[in-house]
Amino acid sequence: MLRKVLPALQELKRDDLKIYALGRKNLTTKEYREFICKERCFPWYKKNIFYQQIDFVHFSPKLKKLLEEAHIYLSLPPDVTEDVLNLLAELPKVGRILVEKPFGKNLEQAQLLQKLIQEKNLHLSIADHYLFKEGILDLKQRDFKKLEIVSLEQIGVEGRLSFYDKIGAMKDMVQGHFLNLTFKILESPDLLNLFSVKEYVRGQYGDGKTEGYAQDLGKTSETETFVKLRLTGKGKEILYITGKGFNKKVGYLKIDGEYFSLDADNSYRRMFDYFLNDKTELFPTLTNTLLAWRIIEKIDSKPQLWYYPRGLKVEQVLVD
Q: Is the pLDDT of residue 2 over 70?
A: no
Respond yes or no on whether the N-terminal peptide bond of residue 92 is cis (omega within 30° of 0): no
Domain assignments of the chain as residue spans, ordered by start? 5-126, 131-265+279-318
pLDDT band at 312 (very low <50, low <70, confident <90, very high): very high
Q: d(Cα 279, Cα 272) in Å, to the nearest integer?
A: 10
Instruction: Tell me the per-residue pLDDT of 98-148, one tens digit each, with 9 for 90 and over.
Output: 999 889 999 999 999 999 999 999 999 999 999 999 989 999 999 999 999
Confidence of residue 24 (pLDDT cuts 50, 70, 90): confident
Digit-coded pLDDT (tens) for 152-171: 999 988 777 888 998 999 99
Is the pLDDT reported for residue 28 higher than 70? Answer: yes
pLDDT digits (tens, 9 = 90+) for 207-247: 999 999 999 999 999 999 999 999 999 999 999 999 999 99
Are β-strands 124-126 and 146-152 bridged in parallel, bridged antiparallel, or unpaired? Answer: unpaired
CATH number of 131-265+279-318: 3.30.360.10
Taking all residues of the chain, what is their mean pLDDT, rounded to a whole number? 92
Q: What residues contact residue 296 under an 8 Å CB cut-off, 6+ apart?
A: 170, 171, 174, 175, 179
Q: Domain 5-126, CATH 3.40.50.720 — does that match?
A: yes
| Tens digit of each residue's pLDDT (9 = 90 or more) over 285-301 | 999 999 999 999 999 78
In this prediction, residue 1 carries a pLDDT of 64
CB 226 within 8 A of CB 156: no
pLDDT digits (tens, 9 = 90+) for 271-281: 999 999 999 99
